[in-house]
Structure 1
């Protein structure tokens, strides 16, 4: 008899499984494809602990109309999906009020602080500490107006004790040679960490989990039924039972939660990137081109150019022209970049309208724990979320206040 079943073998699910295992629980992971098959494989590799400002914000609302006019720009909604996503967009708009943003920022900061505190001990315990990098992040601006518009966000980070420094062209050139002169300002955050390669990291977590006696099964979960103090997990190949369940199935989580009678407004930020050969550029740190909605990262396996937001659900075919558009811009911004030999990718980032994940017990049963909806911060918040899931599984007091993350808040 399995004590705990974790649904999802991405970075959130496997981190939660390992922390539950460390507390003496018997754990099985079930995933529709296997470890690191989704967004955990193709993200930018950043532990963006300084990224405390929600995506839902007045600043994004000001940029959105211009961005939405460009089908290959930083934010787009395919026409075929526009009607379906309207209710989510209304909730997103409501989450952009100053009061809502302040509450989301405070909650996000608490989860970031916990995640940062938990990360290095977790990496050490799982034998992956050698994959951690602390190269920082450089955010660049093309105009004084763009830089000034960013200052309220940096003031908010100052209030939360986040270290950064603004730079002029000479300092930026010293930090990253070859950056286009079109960028006249920059802000460097040394507390922005990264992992050598997110795919290899999650695969290493899977290996560690199995080595400690855990099992990873491949099956698509179609529903959950709590009954008589246990949870029945329906899959396409049969039914499993467990004392407790963690639902961490990323962009597919809301479909499973719906079988419990829970309507959680999860949408999909479809992220695109291209991974170039490692010698494509001498990249010194991750660079964020905020005005264009993408980043460039140095992994142990290549140079990754990607980001942007396409709110297009789970069923539409990928539009790899978005990857190509980011690659063209990256070449213009870093002229020495060799764009040959790249591998394009698209993945689903599970996003809730207020930019906070759902972490807490299901309303249908205290034996089911939700842990999903991290948007583009899944890797960043994985260790903190795993700690909270383990707290809930063992009936310990959660390390932070979970009220802002309640799955029932909608």
Structure 2
């Protein structure tokens, strides 16, 4: 429903990042209109793994991933896949990704990500409290499982880097692993437990709970396709498909994987790519899953969701238009059954969603080149849920002309 008065801020995108931005903006007293091509939280906010991954400060582009990538790419259904016909289009992004894996750039990205995560933890806890959504958040920690001591040794530099940022974890062996998650196949001699990891009961319902909070404070939602966002004197014009224009004092581009052409219209050529993520959600009773489990050698996770189990992850770099390849979901589910022998696979629902990914694993947050009244807030990759409240707080500060709560230079949309 459209607002009765012109909005102060139009947020393009009603996923978790746009919703969190709306929450902070309406708390500042702004009249906010959210516009999305779909119903709210129906994109990546619908089917993600539901984790607050505050300990995930290592960029995806890292020496460890670069060592694994050639082997993974040989398997079209493995943890990383690129359809051959898509290679020419994605080649420039892959070059940037390779450059982002150089040690000095990895360190810079990690420092920036760690600062964002500190803000994200505090901002999310505060927003959850104000929205009355605390019962939807579980603090059970997460287990990262390794099939050999050698696999753990290869991961140790990443854990040592996390330790320098104050992230708490513990390497476990033997019975200590089974005590945290009974029913594992006896092929994991070592694991790492991250006690500070949190999950939400269901990421879609969680996003809608935050949206309900924003709407109680006056935010409104409209379903429409946005064709362009352009500067106007003293504000911004949001041009909808069909020609209608909505004017506002500010606009926020938080359209996830669909943000690239909107940003280009503001003069910012941002190398946004689409990671197509797959999962299968199993009904209650599928397995007695105590906490999120990560299988780094296979690129997927198993998460408790809505009383059931969600098996998902992996990366397919294939754009927005290719049809889903649900063999990828089936492959991960088959592996999960091997790793969790008691897992019941009946009644599973498959899903594919689009993660907005930038080569250095950092989102684009900040004013556009065309106007400080048009603000970018997208490109969070796997971390949209985790960093949504922090992004919302930054966006609200930029709209108000306040100093952001952290140095946003590393997240500049113009860094590319």
Identify whether the pair has TM-score above 0.5, normalized to the shorter chain: yes
State yes or no: 1:390 paired with 2:396. yes
CA deviation profile, 1:167-209 (whole Å, cap 9, x unmatched): 0021111111111111111000001111110010111122222
Structure 2 counterparts to residues 2-401 of structure 1, below 5 A? 2-237=7-242, 238-401=244-407
Structure 2 unpaired stretches of 5+ = 1-5
3-state DSSP of counterpart to 1:287: strand
CA contact (8 A) 1:169 1:181 kept: no
CA contact (8 A) 1:273 1:323 kept: yes
Deviates more, 1:293-302 or 1:320-329: 293-302
Give the total of aligned pairs.
410
CA distance in 2: counterparts of 1:149 and 1:170, whole angstroms: 23
CA contact (8 A) 2:229 2:251 kept: no
3-state DSSP of counterpart to 1:282: coil
CA contact (8 A) 1:276 1:303 kept: yes
3-state DSSP of counterpart to 2:353: strand
TM-score, structure 2 normalization: 0.98
CA contact (8 A) 2:36 2:224 kept: yes
Per the TM alignment, residue 278 of structure 1 is displaced from its structure 2 partner at its CA by 1.5
Per the TM alignment, residue 141 of structure 1 is displaced from its structure 2 partner at its CA by 0.4
TM-score, structure 1 normalization: 0.99
Structure 1 segments, 4+ long, off by >3 Å, are none
Structure 1 unpaired stretches of 5+ = none
3-state DSSP of counterpart to 1:204: helix
3-state DSSP of counterpart to 2:337: helix
CA contact (8 A) 2:27 2:217 kept: no
CA distance in 2: counterparts of 1:362 and 1:277, whole angstroms: 43
